[in-house]
Chains A and B, each alone.
Chain A
Amino acid sequence: MIIRRYSEYALRIIFGTQIDLTVHEQVRRAFYICRSLHHPDILEIVPSFCACVITFDTEAISYESLSGLLQEKLADLSTVEMPSPQLHEIPVRYGGDYGPDLSFVARHCRLTAAEVIDRHCAEIYTVYTVGFSPGFPYLGTLDETIAAPRLETPRTRVPTGSVGIAQRQTGIYPFESPGGWQIIGRTDTRLFDTGRPPFSLMQIGDRVRFYALD
């Protein structure tokens, strides 16, 4: 673990340089430890694949004091109270208007559309992080035989519930938004509800399995 300054009021706690489950588990533990501190001078904690970014109140604490405190609190990641990961089963309508890029992915991978769907549904994915837009889960790791590059020109509008693929990741768009992932299907499952804490269906460390609707 290394701590680096990001800006006047932010630091990064870095656990690795690769997308990898061991690194992910360290990030997740560090996130929950930082959160459990309920430190009044910590403003936001943003976990991602390999690091946590923390913003802090510079009027109340210095970078030096906070990084010293975090070094101490994060020295032992083995004991931490965390929610147990939830498994989310997500129904998906694949292909057609719901998944306009399914045929491209199949051609790119030299498979049939049915094979792409089977392989997409075969895996239990881990929520590496939630972000980009509220509630968007970055899911790994996608079977490499169905990995596909991002679109060269991102779409300006991807419909709510779209299920996408980008390299070895898959994800779900909680809101209509711009997006560059290959869209292979769509789900009706609601991923983000501003009226219901904890707001995001998916939390870091949760598991996801997709199943195909006819």
Chain B
Amino acid sequence: MTGTVTIRNPGLLSLIVDPGRRGYSDVGVPSSAALDLYACEALYALLEDPGTAVIEVLGPRFALQFTADTTCAIAGARVKAFLDDIPLRPWASFTARKGSLLRIREVTAGFRYYVGFAGGIDIPAIMGSYTTNLECGFGGFAGRPLRSGDVLSLAAPRQTDTRIFPDGLIPPMTSPYLLRVTSGPESAYFNSDSLALFWGKGRQELFTVSTNLNRTGIRLQGKPLVFTADVPKSIISEGILPGTVQIPGDGLPIIMLNERTIGGYARVAVIVRADLDTLAHLKAGDLVCFALTDLEDASARWRKKCSLMKSFPSLCR
């Protein structure tokens, strides 16, 4: 049985994503992965369908209509969602009937949320992934954001038992956000007082998320980091990882997301992997502070988070 969903309102921005495009960094192809992989994994557990293409949405008023009976789920930012005016429980799956309308009226905490369908969306994989490279216009739905009237084919719509993700495992999404970091390759480019204010325990400056943010990076405003006298203000371009905090000449941090393989600014710090999903929820005006930790602590947090995510299928009931 086949079916479709029709986008009735894309919200501020909606894109097809998945856990990312892997293995082509050497020719400049970034992962373009879903920014909140924790929510994405929760969605997969709710739908019992790991790795499929899902929709990443920014902002309220997103709406879509079903042409087949299918199980659907929403996870990520806290939203007020309705199926034909019946309120839906967030971070849970539900069955939509043919003709019914899903609407998001409000985002109450966080920024990005994910909508997926049991059986997945039927679109071609480009270079091994369904995700959209928005800047270059490939992958996802014809390489572009979804628009009103777009029709997505469902690969194998089906109804599954509705499942609920445990409330206690939904992460808090409230400003100010704490981002743990390990020291980056060029941390020695900055004077020790300014580093202490940047990431020192109990001494940190709060940064404000600026309006200059997109899927590539997030610029922060606040007290600029100070370069030591004898270093250049840019580096010879080198590989860069998601979550790297770059400092350009003006001293104000840029957090890199999943869209670049190479960068030319000093990499002062790297956000620990266990905290990367938080970046999906930073919006203009939110407050952020950084806290230095070591690789051992970062690795332990990641192991714990990974084992939790692996247990999602058994934790949904």
Contact = CB atoms under 8 A, between A and B. Distances in A.
Whether both chains belong to one complex is answered with yes
Interface of A: 4-10, 12, 17-19, 31, 35, 43-53, 55, 58-59, 129-136, 138, 174-177, 192, 194, 198-200, 203-204
Given A31-B26, A192-B27, A194-B127, 16 more contacts: A6-B184, A12-B238, A45-B26, A46-B261, A48-B262, A49-B238, A59-B306, A131-B262, A134-B28, A134-B136, A135-B27, A198-B27, A199-B29, A200-B27, A200-B28, A203-B27
Contacts of B260: 131-132
Interface string B281-309: 00000000000000100110011001000
A48 B25 contact: no
A129 B295 contact: no
A198 B237 CA distance: 23
Contacts of A6: 184-185, 239, 241, 270
Contact of A5 (B244, B273, B295): B295
A17 B127 CA distance: 33
> Which of A18, A131, A136, A174: most chain B Cβ within 10 A?
A131
A141 B270 CA distance: 32
A3 B313 CA distance: 39
A204 B25 CA distance: 12
B49 to A, nearest CB: 23
26 contacts: A4-B185, A5-B295, A7-B243, A7-B244, A7-B298, A8-B273, A8-B302, A17-B236, A19-B236, A35-B26, A43-B22, A44-B22, A45-B26, A46-B261, A48-B238, A48-B239, A129-B237, A129-B262, A130-B28, A131-B25, A131-B261, A132-B28, A134-B29, A174-B136, A175-B137, A176-B137
A192 B237 CA distance: 21
B142 interface: no
B29 A132 contact: no
Contact of A8 (B22, B28, B240, B298): B298
A53 B27 contact: no
Listed from nearest, the 3 A-B pairs whose CB atoms lie closest are A53-B239, A131-B262, A46-B239
A50 B135 contact: no
Nearest to A45: B26
A199 B24 contact: yes
B28 A133 contact: yes
A123 to B, nearest CB: 20
Interface in B1-58: 22-30
Given A58-B302, A130-B26, A46 B262 contact: yes
A133 B241 contact: no
Contacts of A132: 28, 237, 260-262
A62 to B, nearest CB: 10
Contacts of B132: none
A52 B239 contact: yes
A46 B237 contact: no
A58 B301 CA distance: 13
Q: How large is the interface on B (under 10, 10 to 19, 20 to 34, 35 or more residues)?
A: 35 or more
B214 to A, nearest CB: 10
Contact of A7 (B30, B237, B270, B306): B270
B70 interface: no
Contacts of B184: 6
A12 B239 contact: yes
B133 interface: yes
A175 B136 contact: yes
B182 A7 contact: yes
A9 B303 CA distance: 12
Contacts of A51: 238-239
Contact of A55 (B28, B135, B138, B241): B241
Interface string B259-278: 01110000000101100000
B28 to A, nearest CB: 4
B242 to A, nearest CB: 10
Nearest to B301: A8
B126 interface: yes
> Which of B30, B241, B272, B295: most chain A Cβ within 10 A?
B241
Contact of A45 (B25, B182, B244, B302): B25
Contacts of B127: 194, 199
Contacts of B303: 59
Contacts of A10: 239, 241
A31 B135 CA distance: 27
Given A8-B302, A19-B236, A136 B26 contact: no
> Which of B27, B136, B237, B238: most chain A Cβ within 10 A?
B27
A194 B270 CA distance: 30
A199 B27 contact: yes
Contacts of A129: 237, 262
A198 B29 CA distance: 12
